[in-house]
Amino acid sequence: MRSTVMGRQGRRGVAGGAGREEGPRVWFVTGSSSGLGRALVRAAVAHGDRVVATARDVSALDDLVALAPERVRALRLDVTDVESVRAAVAGAEEAFGRIDVLVNNAAYGLLGAFEELGDDQLRANFETNVFGVMTVTRAVLPLMRRRRSGHIVQMSSVNGVVPGPGGAAYVGTKYALEGFSAALAAEVAHLGIRVTIVEPGPFRTDFGGRSLRWGTPMAEYAEIIAPARKALEASHGSQSGDPARGAEAIVAAVDLDEPPLRLPLGAEALGWIRAHFQSRIEELDAVEELGADTAFR
């Protein structure tokens, strides 16, 4: 992935065509303790902006606050707790007066064949990856709506476009996030609010480590799931994507006068998504005769 893939346009001008105050933006980033969330806090600070970094354990954010104590606030946030969300958003308003960019980054992976996943596991994954995003977005939207300005960055995945075996839970959450976010983008554009869905491929984060959970293996699915699990675990720590460069690309996208609705990150993501859509067109052509002739006669 090349950080120069997007040029910077109008850094201190209009954000996504929406009027806003001149000067540094205020970012609100969920899941700031690791991965792309942490990298985004660093990138926004380096960009001269102000950041509200959030996590369930605020002590994990001490080094981020130390980067620029006057421009970084660390707040506790559990996206599955409505009161925690409201308190964090209120704290951000108190600290900096507004939120210009919301980054819904908090999420975790749950992999395994559908039958290997318990109902509690599935519901918990959707609670964080989907309903948590909705809860935070619902809390921040009124602030942006009143100002007729804002940008919502939804951290999806290449698996929000390209499914695969073992992804019944995680892929399901990211497909839901993509659909919700695309509809939201159409609803809020006239209010000066932009939405960008980020679709990272493999990045060197904790996704393949402590942020990843698995279902209970079943012998019937071993030949499908076991090799994929082995490959994913073996690649942990050696993924090609650099979180710092990915974060720079996201900041650059937010800077654009016309930011993209979707931003795949990494050469792998771009290649897999392109191949997926080519396959979908072929599938569409193959069933056209069967599916098209359904009108009243």
Q: How does pLDDT run across 29-60, given as a tens digit for each residue? A: 999 998 899 999 999 999 999 999 999 999 99
- Judge whether 202 and 268 are in contact, CB under 8 Å: yes
Q: Catalytic one among 34, 156, 157, 181?
A: 156
Tokens of 202: 């493999």
Any catalytic annotation for residue 230?
Answer: no
When pLDDT is cut at 50, 70 and 90, the band that residue 15 belongs to is: very low
Kindly tell me if the per-residue pLDDT of 17 is higher than 50: no
Residue carrying the six token digits 């609100």 = 28
Q: Which residue(s) pair with 200 in the sheet?
A: 265
Question: Which residue spans within the chain are E strands per DSSP?
Answer: 26-29, 50-55, 72-76, 101-104, 109-111, 150-155, 193-200, 212-214, 262-265
Query: In terms of CATH, what superfamily is 9-267?
Result: NAD(P)-binding Rossmann-like Domain (3.40.50.720)
Mean of pLDDT values over 145-159: 97
Give Cβ neighbours of residue 202 (< 8 Å, ≥ 6 apart).
235, 239, 240, 241, 266, 268
When pLDDT is cut at 50, 70 and 90, the band that residue 24 belongs to is: very high
Give Cβ neighbours of residue 166 (< 8 Å, ≥ 6 apart).
111, 112, 113, 224, 225, 228, 229
State residue 251's pLDDT score.
97
Q: Catalytic one among 84, 149, 157, 174?
A: 174
Question: Could you tell me the CA-to-CA distances from 94 to 6, 87, 187, 215 in Å, in that order?
Answer: 33, 10, 28, 42
When pLDDT is cut at 50, 70 and 90, the band that residue 226 belongs to is: confident
Any catalytic annotation for residue 174?
Answer: yes
Region class of 198: left (phi > 0), else alpha (psi between -120 and 50), else beta: beta
For the stretch 259-272, pLDDT in tens is: 999 999 999 999 99
End-to-end CA distance of the chain: 52
Percentage above 70 pLDDT, the chain: 87
Q: Rounded distance, CA 170 to CA 277, Å?
A: 20
Of the listed ranges 21-30, 35-44, 169-178, 247-256, the one predicted with least confidence: 21-30
pTM (predicted TM-score): 0.89
Any catalytic annotation for residue 170?
Answer: yes
What residue ranges do the domains of the chain occupy?
Answer: 9-267
Give Cβ neighbours of residue 49 (< 8 Å, ≥ 6 apart).
24, 25, 26, 27, 71
Q: Rounded distance, CA 154 to CA 163, Å?
A: 18
| Helix axes of 170-188 and 132-147: crossing angle, nearest 10 degrees | 10
DSSP class of 221: G
